[in-house]
């Protein structure tokens, strides 16, 4: 299920949770060899929920598909030395290291670049000053939970998708490839620091939200599911709830026509002296007038009739459905989606999992590779990458510096 675009590239990952590991996952699923090292027994994310019924972390095995796993005791000097050696192992297409270890620890850029001058170190951080943070604390600090949720409820609402983590992971994969490209031109390594806080603050700048507050002098108010600055909201139909969005003039005209609201909208436009088709923002400004018209029509429709009419006309809409409903739907979202392949995971469970989100139209998807068992590749990697002999590897095992795969019964 992977594509060979990054074939030959070798990335070492010493990271936990979502941002760093998803960066490694994206690289692995595009063909890079990604070697993840963890403490023996697993890093801080090895038991992260969701868990399978047998106690295995579905999260861990989801985020580490197609990687190799090395287990090291990083509390020992010898183990730390092995981690540094892995991150800086030779090879023209190696020397790429993704981590969320601290800036000043034993995996500092100074320590790494002393061993391999052209190493590229992509370091995911919480706050830019090194203070600890996770997606949800960054989000609270940026103001989004106060803008999320129904207008009649003042409680802050956290997003449940770890959006900042995910965005950081994808941006990290991009930044690593950018630095790799530069290194291929000029031979120079880099330390790239990527704090969740800066991903968030820069994003709010890019989207115009920083400028919005500066220019307006006020925060955006909570407005439930109303789409800011255009027409969009959730509406009840007879047997469910849908979201409808109309940003472009075509989307708006099609929606109004399909719902048979042309005359009423035209009357309102005459009364107000404006054109809703010409200016998407007016649909937002006057939404209190517009919504009742749409509510009345939708209240008489059911999901089937919305679907057949809206899909035929290309209206931008969706029903609100549960993930379990999405999983069994026959619309290609999950079932029948070529991204997904059923395979056996290290937990021992067999279920479908996804390859790369991107589809390369001219290349077949190669088969998906499951996550390794923790420590599954310890010996092989130390031998091939660091050139350790059998005896040396056996000694490291004896001293507890490294470990092979755990038995499956641990779950």
- Residues of span 366-385 touching a copy of itself by CB under 8 A: none
Q: Pick between residue 249 and residue 405 the one whose CB is nearest to a copy of itself.
A: 249
Question: Within 108-162, where are the H helices?
Answer: 109-115, 135-142, 144-147
Q: Is 258 in the site for a copy of itself (CB under 8 A)?
A: no
Distance CA 183, CA 403 (A): 34
Residue 319: strand pairing partners: 242
Q: Nearest-CA neighbor of 38 among 56, 4, 64, 19?
A: 64
Specify whether the CB–CB gap between 315 and 248 falls below 8 A. no
Instruction: Map residues 236-255 to x or -, x wherever contact with a copy of itself holds by CB under 8 A.
Output: -----xxx-x-xx--x----
Least distance (Å) between residue 90 CB and a copy of itself = 20
Q: Which of 155, 260, 270, 292 binds a copy of itself (CB under 8 A)?
A: 155
Q: Which of 326, 348, 394, 410 binds a copy of itself (CB under 8 A)?
A: 326
Catalytic residue among 45, 73, 165, 180: 165
Q: Who's near 38: CB < 8 A, 6+ residues apart?
A: 16, 46, 69, 70, 71, 72, 374, 375
Q: Nearest-CA neighbor of 70 among 109, 34, 94?
A: 34
Q: Pick between residue 335 and residue 399 the one whose CB is nearest to a copy of itself.
A: 335
Q: Is 50 in the site for a copy of itself (CB under 8 A)?
A: yes
List the interface residues with a copy of itself, window 340-369 (CB under 8 A). Answer: 340, 345, 349, 351-363
236: number of Cβ within 10 Å: 12
Q: Which stretch binds a copy of itself (CB under 8 A): 33-41, 257-265, 313-321, 387-395?
A: 313-321
379 noted as active-site residue: no
Size of the site for a copy of itself (CB under 8 A): 162
Specify whether the CB–CB gap between 68 and 376 falls below 8 A. yes
Least distance (Å) between residue 21 CB and a copy of itself = 9
Q: Is 197 in the site for a copy of itself (CB under 8 A)?
A: yes
Q: Which residues are catalytic?
A: 165
């Amino acid at each position: 299920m992977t594509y060979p675009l990054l074939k030959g590239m070798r990335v070492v990952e010493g990271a936990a949770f979502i941002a760093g590991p998803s960066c490694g996952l994206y690289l692995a699923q595009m063909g890079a060899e990604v070697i993840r090292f963890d403490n023996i027994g697993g890093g801080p994310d090895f038991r992260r929920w969701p868990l399978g019924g047998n106690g295995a972390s579905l999260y861990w095995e989801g985020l580490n598909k197609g990687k190799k796993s090395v287990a090291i005791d990083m509390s020992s000097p010898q183990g730390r030395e092995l981690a540094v050696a892995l991150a800086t192992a030779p090879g023209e297409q190696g020397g790429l290291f993704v981590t969320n270890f601290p800036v000043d620890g034993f995996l500092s850029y100074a320590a790494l670049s002393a061993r391999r001058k052209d190493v590229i170190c992509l370091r995911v951080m919480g706050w830019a000053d090194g203070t600890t943070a996770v997606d949800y604390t960054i989000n609270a600090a940026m103001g989004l939970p106060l803008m999320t949720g129904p207008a009649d409820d003042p409680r802050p609402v956290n997003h449940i998708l770890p959006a900042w983590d995910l965005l950081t992971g994808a941006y990290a994969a991009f930044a690593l490839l950018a630095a790799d490209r530069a290194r291929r031109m000029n031979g120079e390594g880099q330390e790239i620091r990527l704090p969740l806080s800066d991903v968030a603050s820069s994003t709010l700048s890019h989207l115009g939200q920083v400028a919005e507050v500066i220019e307006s002098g006020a925060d955006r108010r909570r407005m439930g599911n109303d789409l800011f600055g255009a027409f969009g909201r959730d509406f009840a139909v007879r047997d469910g709830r849908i979201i409808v969005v109309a940003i472009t003039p075509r989307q708006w005209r099609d929606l109004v026509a399909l719902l048979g609201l042309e005359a009423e909208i035209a009357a309102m436009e005459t009364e107000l002296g404006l054109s809703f088709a010409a200016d998407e923002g007016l649909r937002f400004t006057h939404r209190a007038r517009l919504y009742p018209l749409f509510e009345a029509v939708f209240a008489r429709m059911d999901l089937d009739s919305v679907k057949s009419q809206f899909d035929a006309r290309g209206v931008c809409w969706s029903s609100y459905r549960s993930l379990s409903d999405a999983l069994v739907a026959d619309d290609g979202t999950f079932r029948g989606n070529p991204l997904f392949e059923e395979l056996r995971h290290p937990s021992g469970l067999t279920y479908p999992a996804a390859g790369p989100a991107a589809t390369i139209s001219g290349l077949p998807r190669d088969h998906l590779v499951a996550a390794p068992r923790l420590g599954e590749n310890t010996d092989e990697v130390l031998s091939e990458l660091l050139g350790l002999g059998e005896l040396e590897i056996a000694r490291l095992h004896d001293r507890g510096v490294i470990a092979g795969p755990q038995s499956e019964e641990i779950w």
